[in-house]
């Protein structure tokens, strides 16, 4: 998909990051402590601005700490995310079409601040409008969210599975690597394994994702479902 592939050099991001398994209980305490430098409202306020000084550690707390916030729902989708779907799929766009992409991407991100796909659309549309500073700011945010995810492991086995807070982020990470998803398998107790169609001898056949915290919080909040 043109908009997706144009904005990311995933391999370069992955090479920058040394995987460190996160202490999720410590992250829970940090983001819920008003005295902590990682207090969640502070992090989210900083993320919402045009600040480009946030560290990888702050982004790890921002991304992973979202599961411990009361408004967290891993299966929530913005009603705006599909509004311009047909438009997104075109190879080229007019200035007016780029404005439409920006409009709906911004509305979607107000509902779901970590919609990585909408971020990539927004970056592309800002570049098309020659609003390069805004494109760079959103590129910074997207890059660091991806780094936060890949910093949680290698994705090569269950022990080193990447931790995600949204099932769609599994597919985003595969797509950002210029791979095509083949199939998704549940691996009890709380792993997803996604195989890829176009793997060559140098590539793994698939990647592992840890969805433990995603499932725990969803089941706690929505036991009837």
pLDDT in tens, the chain (225 residues): 344 434 466 666 667 788 999 999 999 999 999 999 999 999 999 999 998 999 999 999 999 999 999 999 999 889 999 888 888 888 889 999 999 999 999 999 999 999 999 999 999 999 999 999 999 999 999 999 999 999 999 999 999 999 999 999 999 999 888 889 999 999 999 999 999 987 677 778 999 999 999 999 999 998 887
For residues 66 and 88, give the distance between their C-alpha atoms in angstroms, rounded to a whole number: 28
For residues 145 and 157, give the distance between their C-alpha atoms in angstroms, rounded to a whole number: 21
For residues 186 and 198, give the distance between their C-alpha atoms in angstroms, rounded to a whole number: 21
For residues 161 and 140, give the distance between their C-alpha atoms in angstroms, rounded to a whole number: 24
Domain ranges across the chain? 2-221
Phi-psi region of 55 (alpha: psi -120 to 50; beta: other; left: phi over 0): beta
DSSP state of 186: E
Measured distance between the N- and C-terminal CA atoms of the chain, rounded to whole angstroms: 33
State whether residue 182 is helix, strand or coil: strand
């Amino acid at each position: 998909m043109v908009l997706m592939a144009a904005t990311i050099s995933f391999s370069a991001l992955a090479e920058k990051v040394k995987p460190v398994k996160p202490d999720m209980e410590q992250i829970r305490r940090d983001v819920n402590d008003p005295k902590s430098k990682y207090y969640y409202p502070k992090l989210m306020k900083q993320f919402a601005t045009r600040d480009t000084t946030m560290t990888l550690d702050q982004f790890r707390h921002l991304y992973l700490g979202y599961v411990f916030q009361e408004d967290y729902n891993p299966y929530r989708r913005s009603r705006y995310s599909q509004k311009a779907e047909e438009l997104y799929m075109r190879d080229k766009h007019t200035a007016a079409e780029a404005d439409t992409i920006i409009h709906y991407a911004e509305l979607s991100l107000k509902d779901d601040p970590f919609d990585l796909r909408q971020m990539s659309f927004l970056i592309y549309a800002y570049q098309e409008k020659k609003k390069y500073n805004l494109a760079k700011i959103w590129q910074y945010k997207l890059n660091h969210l991806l780094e936060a995810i890949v910093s949680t492991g290698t994705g090569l086995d269950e022990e080193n599975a990447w931790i995600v807070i949204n099932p769609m982020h599994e597919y985003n990470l595969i797509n950002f690597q210029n791979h095509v998803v083949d199939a998704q398998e549940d691996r009890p107790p709380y792993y997803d394994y996604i195989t890829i169609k176009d793997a060559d001898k140098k590539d793994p056949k698939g990647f592992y994702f840890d969805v433990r915290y995603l499932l725990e919080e969803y089941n706690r909040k929505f036991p009837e479902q």
